[in-house]
Amino acid sequence: MSEAVHEVPAAWAKRAYIDDAKYQAMYQRSIDDPNGFWAEHGQRIHWMTPFTKVKNTDYNGDVSIKWFEDGVTNVAYNCIDRHLKNRADQVAIIWEGDDPSESKKITYQELHDEVCRMANILRLRNVEKGDRVTIYMPMIPEAAYAMLACARIGAIHSVVFGGFSPDSLAQRITDCESKCIITADEGLRGGRKVPLKANVDAAIAKSGGVDHVIVVRRTGGAVEMDPVRDVWYHEAADVVTAECPCAEMNAEDPLFILYTSGSTGKPKGVLHTTGGYLVFASMTHQYVFDYHDGDIYWCTADVGWVTGHSYILYGPLANGATTLMFEGVPNYPTNSRFWEVIDKHKVNTFYTAPTAIRALMQAGDEPVKKTSRASLRLLGSVGEPINPEAWEWYYRVVGDNRCPIVDTWWQTETGGILITPLPGATKLKPGSATRPFFGVKPQIVDAEGKPLEGAVSGNLCITDSWPGQMRSVYGDHQRFIETYFKTYPGKYFTGDGCRRDEDGYYWITGRVDDVINVSGHRMGTAEVESSLVLHEKVSEAAVVGYPHDIKGQGIYAYVTLMNGVEPSEELRKELVAHVRKDIGPIAAPDKIQFSPGLPKTRSGKIMRRILRKIAEDDFGNLGDTSTLADPAVVDDLVNNRQNKK
């Protein structure tokens, strides 16, 4: 573990909103007097009717989480309209296309007009407050218009990442009973086309129940249009006005659903609401990235993930920021792309994922060094633990030893950043997410839930609510309670392991449940297993994660075939293709081991601990195998392991 410490640069201590003394004082107040603290910071957004109540949360019993519950507001109003007086001509979104010759700038006034048009298109199709709209889009400005249009009229958006398959999309359409879909003809990433509209057609064939599909023309590729159901966005936009009133939304009215993987079952619809979410997203964006007027801010996430929701769109726009939206990938057309975009648009703050950093690090320093990056001031990391080597490379080569790195720990469920450095306040230790944000009370517990003090390792819980917290699992509140509040009663359990050092810094060590984190994308092992056993030649499957140089974790599948089916290289490829098609490319197994049997206890439970060790090529100490029904299977598993060092 690297023990290097990077002090706060003098220039940062001067410029930043928050220095260390201020952090200490504000943090203490946020814990001692949450109602007073959040009553004050709740004022950072505009309320049509001011709230009189602040915090009303209970982690016990039925679990009820309410913030600013009698306030009335609108997220689109806060992200657009309230800025028009002073910022109508300021750039809200810089869009950089997949092809380096394509980019455009959208001002706040233009954003207003486009969002109103999209909102009117939805209204004409009878989309009303509370209705669910599924958004399946490439990274183009219309994705932002679509999300904000929903927020404007009070519809609940469910953005599905464009890399998910038709089946995964169908499952998400069905779960939230969405009758309207916004998509594009095709996406474009790294020069390759993604057949979004065709995927939507296939998904609807399965899910049914969709009345309207609005299609944005991106590539001009041929698509089929159903004359009754489908409409081109540019044609629909021609016949509506650029004015649309903002719906009055209660602070606790839903804003969006975002599906995410857990350790069991199908993906859950994480439900976020309006007021608390926006206060928290905008406040974390301002302080963690120390956003000042005039800064150019770039988060490389996709809007299909929560990072795109909170830190491309809602947080930055609520703060009147200029946010960059990138359609492409880090290595197209060359490994210099990120750094060229930084120079082209004079980006000051750059926020990306460790997997991208590690991949670019492998390409060497030269693609970075040939760019200037003089505009850069701050770097950020999110999505998975960043190993100290990648941290140091990011700091030294990308940031030229002068830009602090904010390693931000959070989750789809948390809505915004919970553990993070603040650049003007926090000394950095490579690999540590450092200290809690205001109002966040982390606790490390042992397996029985006993709180551990001082420098310790254990499981990470949060003991009290913050405004950006998810409120429920859409349509299944019981599952919300079971998943997050039953393991350690009365506490929110994150699913992450964590160490706290002698300085009180937090080091996230990764998931302790059956969730794997592949290139910063969450995947439930159970989901991949169910997909594999759908294949006619597969009798049983067990999936675990293993350390992967670039992706952080790779997917390792143990597969038992049906009687009489012979393992082969072709079958291996067929199974990988099957999972890609069934769930999406991000779920494709990296390794498949055919195994005649799986290590099970006498009661039939698969011993994953053993499978993980074998996948890691660490089978010297498999622990106690005496409880196995058939200990001999272990020898076969070890002999045929796919990750021999």
Question: Is 382 a residue that touches ligand PRX (CB under 6 A)?
Answer: yes
Name the residue nearer to ligand PRX (CB basis): 355 or 408: 408
Q: Cα–Cα distance between 167 and 267 in angstroms, integer?
A: 13
CA distances from 164 to 311, 493, 526, 580 (A): 21, 27, 17, 9
Question: Is 81 a residue that touches ligand PRX (CB under 6 A)?
Answer: no
User: Helices 632-639 and 608-615 sit at what angle, rounded to 10 degrees?
Assistant: 20
Enumerate residues 503-522 that contact ligand PRX by CB under 6 A: 508, 510-511, 517, 522
Residue ranges of the annotated binding site for CoA are: 189-192, 307, 331, 519, 580
CA distances from 638 to 282, 613, 615, 617 (A): 50, 10, 9, 8
Q: Quote the strand ranges of 70-223, DSSP E.
A: 72-73, 91-96, 103-107, 132-136, 156-159, 180-184, 187-189, 192-194, 212-216
Enumerate residues 391-410 that contact ligand PRX by CB under 6 A: 407-410
Question: Is 429 a residue that touches ligand PRX (CB under 6 A)?
Answer: no
**What is the distance, to the nearest Å, from the Cα of residue 132 to the centroid of all Cα atoms in its chain?**
20
CB 494 to ligand PRX: min, Å: 6
Here the tokens at position 168 are 């995964």
Contact string 289-308 vs ligand PRX (x = CB under 6 A): -----------------xx-
Name the residue nearer to ligand PRX (CB basis): 154 or 385: 385
Question: Is 411 a residue that touches ligand PRX (CB under 6 A)?
Answer: yes
CB 456 to ligand PRX: min, Å: 18
Contact 276, 468 (CB under 8 A): yes
Residue whose beta carbon is closest to ligand PRX: 412
3-state secondary structure 24-47: HHHHHHHHHCHHHHHHHHHHHCCC
Residue ranges of the annotated binding site for Mg(2+) are: 533, 535, 538
Question: Is 531 a residue that touches ligand PRX (CB under 6 A)?
Answer: no
> Segment near ligand PRX (CB under 6 A), from 114-122, 216-224, 438-446, 489-497?
489-497
Contact string 176-215 vs ligand PRX (x = CB under 6 A): ----------------------------------------
3-state secondary structure of 82: helix
Name the residue nearer to ligand PRX (CB basis): 42 or 316: 316
For residue 316, whether the previous peptide bond is cis, meaning omega lies within 30 degrees of 0, is: no
CA distances from 548 to 330, 362, 409, 464 (A): 19, 13, 20, 34
Question: Is 495 a residue that touches ligand PRX (CB under 6 A)?
Answer: yes
Which residues, including other chains, have CB under 8 Å from residue 271's CB and lie 6 or more apart? 254, 256, 257, 470, 471, 472, 473, 474
Name the residue nearer to ligand PRX (CB basis): 184 or 508: 508
Among 30, 73, 158, 260, binds ligand PRX (CB under 6 A): 260
> Segment near ligand PRX (CB under 6 A), from 83-91, 338-346, 491-499, 577-585?
491-499
| Eight-state DSSP code of residue 395 | I
Question: Is 340 a residue that touches ligand PRX (CB under 6 A)?
Answer: no
Q: Which residues of the chain form contacts with ligand PRX (CB under 6 A)?
A: 260, 306-307, 382-385, 407-412, 433, 494-496, 508, 510-511, 517, 522
